[in-house]
Structure 1
Amino acid sequence: MKGFGRAIMTGAAVMLLGTMVSQAATLSVDEKGIKIPTGGASSFILGFPELRGDGDKIFMTNDKKVVGKHVKMKFEGGAEAVVAVDKDKISVKFEKLPAEAKHFRMTMQINFDFAMSAKWKAGDRELVAFPPEKPSSPHLYQGNTTNFELAGTAGKMKMTVPAYSYIQLTDCREWNNWKNFTFFFNAPIMKEATEYNITIN
């Protein structure tokens, strides 16, 4: 019985270690974007920065090279960016920005199956469930905050974005009944800033 008890304890320790390793999984990069593990069965892709100006102006990406955990980008108008990922941090550094560049956007899709067993929160709000039916307004959240969180049976994630960012969470069933939710943040370009950081927990 003592040996059996030790076997149970050893198995429990292995399971606990496996959980800790899963939760400590690091960010990674591929051609699609930055892969964010959740410590569960799901993961998310946060798209690379999209440089924007006033109104609907988008500075198109002319070149993108992924090297290890770094991405080098070139934009219409001459701007350049280096995106780097560490264990739980994403850094974005811009150079040669035109005066018309006002902010950058990073977007993440949340699939419907994950959402139906998950909750979300932005800022200081409480966690709330995703709507099972299409809501009267497609925008579940629009506002200035730096915190966004997902918590579901398939994993969880906390994201902190740059100061003064605008966050939006949208139910895409408003458009052709696309069963999906879209999250993005717009971070303002600050003249005194040389680097913008996003942290993932």
Structure 2
Amino acid sequence: MITEAPAPPVIPSPLSPVSKAYRRYALTVLLIIYILNFLDRQIVAILAEPIKNELHLADWQLGAMTGLAFALFYTVLGIPIARYAETGHRPRIIAAAAGLWSLFTIACGFAQNFVQLVACRIGVGIGEAGCTPPAHSLITDYTPREKRASALAFYALGTPLGGLLGLALGGLIADAYGWRTAFLFAG
């Protein structure tokens, strides 16, 4: 006969408790960072055609720039950064990551050829890999167990909001000022 064990008690975070106001502030800041993360990630999709035309890229080059260059480094570095976030100062990791991907997004606007653009997209991928693991860790530390699902869902709104803003603003800015300016704005 199998008996169910009672649910474990809710144990406070090992960190000192944070106030409700600070928790909301932190979650809002993390959401804004995640929106910018996805904006930078998605803007390249709306800018692909003008980039391809100006730099005379082949379809395979466009695919490498928009997918492989970013995704490979983003994926490979996610786990080591998550491990570092377990012992490192997570807000600093997120700040450094945001600074790195922003600089490389700006650099995309100055790229003169395929190799430079791929190098910049690799840099964006490396930077963006440092956002979500430490953010999830902070959210779970700052949020009581019974509210974590809602807090993580709020944070996850950064995906559709950032994608929407990246495509909408990227298109508007590119139409008015060119694809390079759109990257400068996104960075």
The TM-score by the shorter chain falls in which range?
under 0.3
* Structure ranking higher in helix proportion: 2
- Relative contact order (alpha carbons < 8 A, sep ≥ 6): 1 or 2 greater? 2
* Structure ranking higher in strand proportion: 1
TM-score by length of 1: 0.26
TM-score by length of 2: 0.27
